[in-house]
Structure 1
Amino acid sequence: MVEVGDINTNLSMNFLQNTISLLILLLSVSIVNLEAQNVTVEGKIIDKISSETLPGASTMLLQKNDSTLYKFGVTNLEGKFNLKGAKPGEYILQVSFIGYNTYYKKIELKSETPLLNLGTISLTVKAEMLKGVEVVEEIIPMAIKGDTIEYDADAFKTQPEATVGDLLKKMPGVEVDKSGTVKAQGEEVKKVLIDGKEFFGDDTKMATENLPADMVKKVQVYDDMSEMSKMTGIDDGNRTKTINLKLKKDRKKGVFGNVTTSGGSTALATGDLNDETGLYNGKFNVNKFTEKMQLSTLGMLNNTNEQGFSYRDYINFVGGGVNAFAGGGGFGQLNTGGILIGGNTNDGFTKTAAGGANLNYDFTPASTFSINYFYNQADKDMNRTIERQNISDSSSFNTFQNEIQNQFDKNHRFNLKYKQQIDSTQDLTISGNLTYSEGTSISISNNKSTTNKGIFLNESNTNNSTVGENISGTGTITYGKRFQKKGRSVVTNFSAGSSSNEKKYNIFSSNSFAAIPPNLPFTNTTDQFQFENNDQFNYEGKISYNEPLGKGKYVELSYERKNYDNSYLKDFFDIISPNSEIFNTNLSLSYDNSFVYDNYGLNLRFAKGKSNFVVGGASQRSVLDGEIISTATKINQTEWNLLPKAQWNYNFNTSTRFVFNYFTNVNQPTLQQLQPTLDNSNPLYLYQGNPDLNSEYRHTASLRVMSFSQFSFVNIFANITGSYTKDKITNAQSLNNQFIQTTTPINVDDDYFLSGYLYFGSPIRPIKAKINIRLNSSISRSILFINTQKNDLERLANGFDINLENRNKDVVDIKAGTKFSITNTTYSESTNLNQSFLSTVYYSELIINIKKTWTFSTELDYTQYSGDQFANNPDIPILQASLSKRFLKGNAGLLKLTVYDIFNENVGINRTSNSNYIEDERVNTLSRYFLISFTYKISRFGGKKKKEAETSN
């Protein structure tokens, strides 16, 4: 008999094979088509009166039957253009230049004439339209310029109140999820710049969720290199997916922003008109820009689970020693690569307050300065239930948890950056950051484990609290010097940082265990105070020398040293009575360690025409010196590794680019993985580090193609990434007779990973629509140990997303689509524990502009879950709608009514598939409610005030 899991596994494998085959086919077809050439059209563009050439003029070949764009080009410094690869036929030549009337001419291309020279074409002040020709022009939405994809914001219609995030959602190859995380070409965006300048450091949400979309002229997406790589021209592999927002010319000087105040209630959800659960959401964003300065201020206060910033500081330090979100009372599991198979990131009830300022100032064109400060606090209440199916060596057992949790944190962040071009041969960059965080976490939970048949195994009632604070800072200086000989340069970089993290835990648990032979039933209690202190200091320095070897050939010699010092202390005190405690010598630990890397590098770079190639590598010596002070145990490890690398960039033409990357790297174990201390935050799930871990050695290769046709508006982004890791650090689980699970990190022989991503977008002109398709697929093969039994673990994860939207969005903007994901996990030995899940989401968005000042919008997400491992697979429809009115002079005011979760179905489900468990989490969350908001928009440019409607959700 064929099992459902086998069918799903086969489907997933076929999906992966088909995805990769489709990627290869599309790449092959693209490459072949790119090289096809038939007829070339050339000419020269001049001013009719002065006869001066016009460099930068746009030249286009339009299809004669429907005036759609077929070929596109720009004149060079001599005013000449060259349109290659045109097929024989009849076309319209269109020439345009700012300040001149557009020129049109009917032409016919014949195969027997491979070169058509149109001679000199004169543009005049007065229009000379081609009689009988009606041309409908379209804004070209994007272009590929070297390693940068540039979008024209005017090609993407947004509402007057839209944020930058709303604009990015509409751009091909860019995704913005419900939490505000931005991905471009399948990779997470780590930095957003404003006209090339910093904006609140590397917190991308500060720009995407707070700045208005109507200020943006162009959006540039690229992989930003490190400061050192920019100076040397040699890619060191430290790239950051970056978005640069280029401002409209009239937005570079003036004052703009908005102020929003909102109020509402959850009475619609409770059905009680006397419900006094009031909701509020207020925020402001005011910016002043001049030729030399960009000054931005923002603030927010709400209890509607809205954060216009990233939450990373909070995650870094609050909670138990294993899982920050466990709060000392959760399951306390390390994140071992679990796949989120469906969920809601807006769980619980959070009160948020935040504010900050960002200043960019140009002292001179060669001297720039950036500084920003941001404060935020969040008070989050959660009530959650978790059902987890744990996988043991031969069977599985279930764990159920009910938890009430409160987390409160405060964070201060400070960043600065100074760049100075000392002269035409010298560059200097200085940057630094400082962060201070403090917070508390309180968790009360009940955890119970049973067999698959419901037979009681153990139970634990916990009451844990954590108080913590952390201060950290880093500073970096980079200096580059170019010599008289072109291509010869030397670049140096030095950075240093330190952090101090202190936590205090109060751990209480009452535990009971069933009679499992040979043990009788018994109970015990843990009542402890724990003190943890973690001090870290690191520095790294690098020097790079570059020498030209001939035309387009360069060699780089480099030396780099990295040093990471850590001092860790955790003391355990058993509480005997409210006023009496005993130091626990068995669990307490004091630990020092130091990682030192010496890296000797050699790279060769070849640049010729459309191609750029780098090959080289490094020899790296790494030394770990550690001491467990409490037991006088020494830990010493020394490794030598060869780290080869290669990179090839090839620009087929102005619309298509190919990038291949191969590199190797060494990943040292984290402090948490090395610490031989026991984390007993949850007495049923223990974690203990392993000081004998080796570093991981990883090979990674990737292939990426970006293609956009300025003629058909078809765009393709595709990438394939694979990795192989030796001495992969994974987690081994062991279960004792009482089903207490202990997790310890270990090294395993081999680990493989392969993933593919494809985005395809194209207009469907007959129905005036656009289709977007996304495919992603991954397969990983690793090793899992459960009670010393080795399982070869294979995990498949596949996703598909397709949607259709209209192109003319002046009155109606509509999009509808579906996306689904399939995950399968199989075990070589415990095949009866194989897992299979499917989640499907149907979604739609509708915006209707009624006359000029009214707007109605609605959004629906309908989610379906399936999987035999879960008893309940609900269907969850989430619908929201709003009606807004713009008014006041210049439409400066906007009044908006919004109803969220109209069906009252938001139940906060998070599902995770991990290597040794599957989990279904239900969290209380903000369900049906309404808000009435008023927004006032400030817009003063060039000394004149303009008022436009603005809203904020």
Structure 2
Amino acid sequence: MKTLLQKAILIALLFVSYTAAAQTKAGVASGRALNGKDKSPLDYASVAVKKLFGDSSIAGVGTTNQTGTFSITGLPVGKYRLFIAYLGLKSINKDFELTAASPGVNFGDLIMEDTGVDLKAVEVVGDIPPVKVKKDTLEFNAAAFKVKENAVVEDVLKKLPGVDVAKDGSITAQGEKISKVRVDGKDFMGNDPLLATRNLPADMIDKIQIIDDMSEQSKFSGIDDGNREKIINITTRQDKKNGFFGNSTLGYGTDDRYEVNVNVNKFKNDEQMSVIGQFNNVNKQNFGGGGGGRGRISFGGGPQRGITTTNMGGVNYADVYKNGTQFNASYNFNKTSLFNKENSFTQNLLGNNTTTNKEDFESTSDRLSHTVNFTLDTKLDSTISLRLQPNVSINESETNSLTNYERVVLGGTTLGRQGYITNSSSPSISNNLLIRKKFQRRGRTLSLNVNTNINNSDAENYLDRVENLSIPGNPGSVIINNQLNDQGTKSISNTSRLVYTEPLSKTFSLELNYQNGYSFDNQDRKVYDYNPATGKYDIINSLFTNDFDNTTFTNSLGFSFNKNEKKYNWNMGLAVQNTDQQRYNDTDKSSFKRNFINLTPSAQFRYNFSQSKRLRINYDGRTAQPSISQIAPIFDNTNAQTFPIGNPDLKPSFTNSLRVFYNNFNFANFRSLFIGGFFTQQFNAFTTQSALITDESDDNYGKIGQKSVNVDGNFNANIFGNISQPIIKGNKLSFQIDLRGSYAKGTGFVSNGTGFTENITKSLSVTNGYKLTSNLDKFDLIAGISGTMNRDTYSANSRNNQKYYNLAPNIDISYLFPGNIRLQTDITYNKVTGRGVGFDTEYTLMNAYVSRQFFKNRGTFKLSVNDLLDQNTGVSRSGGANTIQDSNFNVLKRYYMFSFTYSLNRVAGKNVGGQMPGQGGHRTIRMGGM
């Protein structure tokens, strides 16, 4: 037995080694692996070819496919030994020779017999392959990507090929945004990815799976309904499934900066318990939904707006019971306070006229939220199961802002000062119910999905504004607004989808579906002017007071056909949707109704060239109804630049969307390639007609009236590609090339005095990036450079065409010196040009720390500095068809901090030393329970 185990260990080591040097393409070794019990094909059996003479290195590796076949190519003339291994079966080895006359050998059927070995006692030692491709999943072995001590999940993600982690923590994988992170297949802290990626320690990870996840209803029926989302699933290491683990940090620095992070996890088999907490005033938010600025989109990224104080805590529990019932629940609260200062310069491109608006803005925003959610998935009997997902949240906010502005229109100047105070409370309840029924015939299913949302909002908004208008040749005028806006909103929506599937053959099936939707919302808004006589807000302002009820009914009936083969699968469907809209204005007792009928087609195609080469094509056509605010907007005078105009003649828009994605992995030499593209085309797209108000007697003089209209011809195209290639043997240093490009055409309209001129905007953006990533024991490196070129052209006024650039080299480098002392620095250089006078910037952001590990590597003391050169700068540019806005805003500047981090690692009741960096890529795996 001992000899047999030694041989199994040696063979397994050879099979999973991926450090072989690339060979010149020549001969091929092929065959098919079968199970000796029933002669069934063996999928994912490990295959390796080793040289018999010379350096005795691995010449090629691979795995068998679903039919049990394998093919190892690129073998030069010479003598070799073939190895095939499969857990629980006797390994096979055969010697063979390739010659110039016979450059290929086919071994035919290779029968693998039962070993009779107790699998619970077998340990396999070997190099961990970095990636595996499954049906809808890319699976990365975390051990193949080394990170520093006290790293979190996000640090591992930064090293995965085809994955991009932005400064705000948002994750993009193969060109698509990650919407959710799960742990061992269970939701973690609701639907906020950052709660997992920025809190869970990296040393808990066994594998990271990037999944094109279908809806729960599609998973059950087996037919893709097109409602996919890109998610991440983290599988935990076996040695973490029975104990406590986590990292907690306490730090204090200059300028009274502080940081406290708490993360404690207790796992016991399928049971998971986690507690997280975060308290700081250094703009760190390990959760989504944090505030930065005024909701504007920034080109080229950049630092976070303002200074945020954060207090957050949460608990998560999950378990799988003996009867198969899955349960998980979480609660979290977060309280943030954001102080923001900003000055901006806005150009409104209105045909031959250009208006400008300068603003100095300052605000303090306090937000508090509580969220509770849980999931229950259980079987009612052998054929019926139920999945229940309720969510309750309460959000409260208070904002106090002051804006001073200068608006220039046709030689006239408006100087204004606006104070705005708002207090709001927004409780909401949602629930998703899925009932599933399986019939005796395989593939015949019936399922009902019901999604309900109830949202209420109450807000008190105080507006205090004074405007002074100066027009050449006319005396100045003053407009004063001092008002209370008491607004309440109540809404409820419910969507039910019934799906029946019927197998037509072993590989062909039919789906019939019916969907019903109902939504209702009431907006009750009462505006009061200030009464100097009483000192109260008790004079009703009828112009801005209103009470609306909005109701929408939808009914959709559709079908789809699904074909599933070993190499490919496809799905084609079509639905007919009827929509009824109704609005009732209780203020003036008016109402209107609308009805639409639309077709919504969909199609998907997936082809597997091999286990490492996949092609995916998705198409869908979607209808979007115009919003009530576009049809009949509520009058609002709180915006100092624009005001809405309703259009009851708006038609629904229709969008064609096409997504194409291809990936190719070379498992033997760690190479990877991702290529993809997203294309959208719109008919009856919603766009805006913008008209400048030039009537001096109008209270809206100098503002821009905006009316939604329909146009054709709008489209958007995005392409991306990523190549990852090791440049040092064994993937110890890899090189990535990233290329992204987008081109969009949008249509708007601007006033020309007598009518409207079509303004076609064409936007081109190209980003090219290069990155080096290390996988070494003591030396850690992520270095790269990226450059972005943006070009916008406007048909109505070519003199406003823009071209601007962003260049951003960066390096994050550290080394672990003797004595467990680590020295680290990260440097980002930003150069922005073409944004306008006063808004072009060039600065270097440098952070650094020195740390020392103690207490058997469980404790780490760290001295760090943020923005060492004190050059952090807040700059952004945002824009649209008719608007360009440049902004400067306050950011967090230099500070020093001393901190201590403790790594809890208690497995099966015993304290375990903290994991040293570099423990990855070579691991002992206990193959038990398989």
Give the alignment's TM-score, normalised by structure 1: 0.86
Q: Deviations over 1:897-937 (max 9, x none)?
A: 11110110012222223222222221112111111110111
Residue type matched to 1:891 in 2? N
1:841 to 780, 786, 808: 808
Aligned residue number for residue 873 of structure 2: 907
> Aligned partners of 1:866 and 1:772: how far apart in 2?
26
Q: Quick check: 2:409–2:702 contact (8 Å CA) kept in 1?
A: no
Separation in structure 2 between the aligned mates of residue 618 and residue 923 of structure 1, nearest angstrom: 48
1:289 and 2:267 are equivalent in the alignment = yes
Q: 2:887 aligns with which of 912, 921, 936?
A: 921
Counterpart pick for 2:237 among 231, 248, 255: 248
Q: Tell me whether 1:71 sits opposite 2:29 in the alignment.
A: no
1:622-667, CA deviations, whole angstroms, 9 ceiling, x for partnerless residues? 1111112222222211111111111111111111111111111112
Tell me whether 1:795 sits opposite 2:795 in the alignment. Answer: no
1:918–1:108 distance in 2 versus 1, CA, 3 Å: farther
* Shift, 1:608, TM fit: 1.8
Which residue pairs with 2:671 in the alignment? 714
Q: Could you list the runs of 5+ residues in structure 1 that have no partner in the other structure?
A: 1-35, 127-135, 266-276, 316-324, 327-334
The CA distance in 1 between the partners of 2:628 and 2:409, in whole Å, is: 35
- Could you say which residue in structure 2 is the equivalent of 1:745? 708
From 65, 88, 98, the equivalent of 1:109 is: 98
CA distance in 1, matches of 2:250, 2:597: 60
Of 324, 332, 335, the match for 1:377: 335
- 3-state DSSP of counterpart to 2:304: coil
- Larger deviation, residues 586-595 vs 114-123: 114-123
Are 1:551 and 2:506 an aligned pair?
Answer: yes
Q: Secondary structure at the match of 1:180?
A: coil
- Within the candidate set 416, 431, 436, 1:475 is matched to 431
1:354 paired residue number: 312
Q: 5 Å matches for 1:675-824?
A: 675-737=632-694, 738-765=701-728, 769-787=733-751, 788-807=756-775, 809-824=776-791
Kept after mapping to 2: 8 A contact 1:40/1:86 = no
| Percent of matched pairs sharing the same residue | 27
Moved more, 693-702 or 107-116: 107-116
Show the 5 A alignment for 1:641-656: 641-656=598-613
The equivalent residue for 1:636 is 593
* Aligned residue number for residue 620 of structure 1: 577
Q: Report the CA distance shift for 1:845/1:69 in structure 2 as closer, same or farther (over 3 A).
A: farther
Distance verdict in 2 for CA 1:663–1:743, change over 3 Å: same
Tell me, yes or no, if the aligned pair for 1:144 and 1:707 is still in contact at 8 Å. Answer: no
Equivalences for 1:516-555 in 2 at 5 Å?
520-555=475-510
How far the C-alpha of 1:689 sits from its partner, in A, is 5.0
1:304 aligns with 2:270: no
Counterpart in 1 of 2:373? 415
Alpha carbons 2:525, 2:547 under 8 Å: kept: yes
Residue by residue over 1:412-451, the C-alpha shift from the partner in whole angstroms, topping out at 9 and shown as x without a partner, is 1111110013444332111110110001011011111247
1:165-219 deviation per Cα after TM superposition (whole angstroms, max 9, x unaligned): 0111111111111111111111110110000001011100000000000000011
Q: CA deviation at 1:949?
A: 7.0
In the other structure, the counterpart of 1:487 is 443
Matches of 1:684 and 1:703, distance apart in 2: 41
Conserved 8 A contact 1:487-1:548: yes
Say if 2:354 is the partner of 1:396.
yes
Q: Classify the secondary structure of the residue corresponding to 1:832.
A: helix
Q: Which residue of the partner structure matches residue 145 of structure 1?
A: 134
Structure 1 residue 484: Cα displacement: 1.3
One-letter code aligned to 2:278: M
The one-letter code sitting in structure 2 at the alignment partner of 1:181 is: S
Indicate the SS of the match to 1:810. coil
Partner in structure 1 of residue 7 of structure 2: none
Q: Which residue does the alignment assign to 2:525?
A: 570
2:46 aligned partner: 58
The change in CA–CA distance for 1:884 and 1:369 in structure 2 (over 3 A counts) is same
> Could you tell me whether the CA contact under 8 Å between 1:841 and 1:862 is conserved in 2?
yes
Matched, 1:659 2:637: no
Distance 1:868 1:292 in 2: 53
Residue 515 of structure 2 corresponds to 560
Q: Within 1, Cα distance between the matches of 2:786 and 2:683?
A: 35
Q: Is the 8 A contact 1:67 1:92 kept in 2?
A: no
Shift of 1:535: 0.8
State which drifts further: 53-62 or 94-103.
94-103
Counterpart in the other structure of 1:946 = 912
Residue 554 of structure 1 deviates from its aligned partner by 0.4
User: Which residue pairs with 1:588 in the alignment?
Assistant: 545
Stretch of structure 1 that moved more, 736-745 or 788-797: 736-745
Q: 2 CA distance for matches of 1:645 and 1:579?
A: 58
Hey, what's the Cα distance between the residues in 2 that align with 1:606 and 1:86?
Answer: 35
Check whether the contact 2:91–2:112 (CA below 8 A) recurs between aligned residues.
Answer: no
- CA distances 1:208-243 after superposition (whole Å, capped 9, x unpaired): 000000000011001111111111112112111110
* SS at 2:257 equivalent: strand
- Which runs of 5 or more structure 2 residues have no equivalent in the other structure? 1-24, 118-124, 695-700, 918-930
Residues matched between the structures, number: 866
**1:209 maps to which of 198, 218, 234:** 198
Q: Specify whether residues 637 and 100 from structure 1 end up closer, same or farther in structure 2 by C-alpha distance, changes over 3 A only.
A: closer
Q: Which residue of 2 aligns with 1:196?
A: 185
Which amino acid in the other structure matches residue 920 of structure 1?
D
Q: CA deviation at 1:66?
A: 8.7
Rounded to whole Å, the distance in 2 between the matches of 1:811 and 1:46 is: 44
- Cα distance in 2 for partners of 1:750, 1:46 equals 58
Residues 92, 106 of structure 1: 8 Å contact kept: yes
Q: Please state how far the C-alpha of 1:75 moved relative to its aligned partner.
A: 9.0
- The offset of 1:356, in angstroms, is 1.1
User: Higher mean Cα deviation, 244-253 or 905-914?
Assistant: 905-914
Match of 1:420, SS state, is: strand
Q: C-alpha distance in 1, partners of 2:708/2:430?
A: 29
Q: Is the 8 A contact 2:200 2:263 kept in 1?
A: yes
Q: Which one of 582, 589, 597 corresponds to residue 554 of structure 2?
A: 597
The one of 825, 837, 848 equivalent to 1:858 is: 825
Partners of 1:345 and 1:623 in 2: CA distance: 45
SS of 1:161's equivalent in the other structure is: coil
Change (3 A) 1:682 1:868: closer
Distance 1:284 1:699, change over 3 A: same
Is residue 825 of structure 1 aligned with residue 789 of structure 2?
Answer: no
The 8 Å contact of residues 560 and 599 in structure 1, kept in 2 or not, is answered as yes
Residue deviations 1:89-146 (CA, integer Å, cap 9, x gap): 34564556679999987643346364332967999999xxxxxxxxx97532112111
Structure 2 Cα separation of the partners of residues 541 and 233 of structure 1: 19
Checking the alignment, whether the CA contact within 8 Å between 2:749 and 2:759 is kept in structure 1 is yes
Secondary structure at 1:190 match in 2: strand
Q: Distance in 1 between matches of 2:174 and 2:583?
A: 42
Paired AA for residue 230 in structure 1: K
Give the Cα–Cα distance (whole angstroms) in 2 for the partners of residues 693 and 38 of structure 1: 65
Note the alpha carbon deviations across 1:29-49, whole angstroms, 9 max, x for none. xxxxxxx996343376999xx
Q: Quick check: 1:59–1:75 contact (8 Å CA) kept in 2?
A: no
State how far apart, in whole Å, the 2-side matches of 1:564 and 1:837 are: 43
User: What's 2:470 paired with?
Assistant: 514
Residues 1:461 and 2:417 aligned together: yes
Inter-partner Cα distance in structure 1 for 2:477 and 2:858:
70
CA distance in 1, matches of 2:470, 2:92: 88
1:495, CA displacement in angstroms? 2.1
Distance 1:949 1:112, change over 3 A: closer
The 5 A counterparts of 1:14-163 are 39-42=28-31, 57-61=45-49, 67=57, 70-74=60-64, 82-83=70-71, 85-87=73-75, 89-90=77-78, 93-95=82-84, 107-110=96-99, 112=102, 114-117=104-107, 138-163=127-152
Q: How does 1:160-171 map to 2 (within 5 A)?
A: 160-171=149-160
**For structure 1, which segment, 857-866 or 580-589, has the greater mean C-alpha deviation from structure 2 after superposition?**
580-589
d(CA) in 2 for partners of 1:533, 1:950:
56
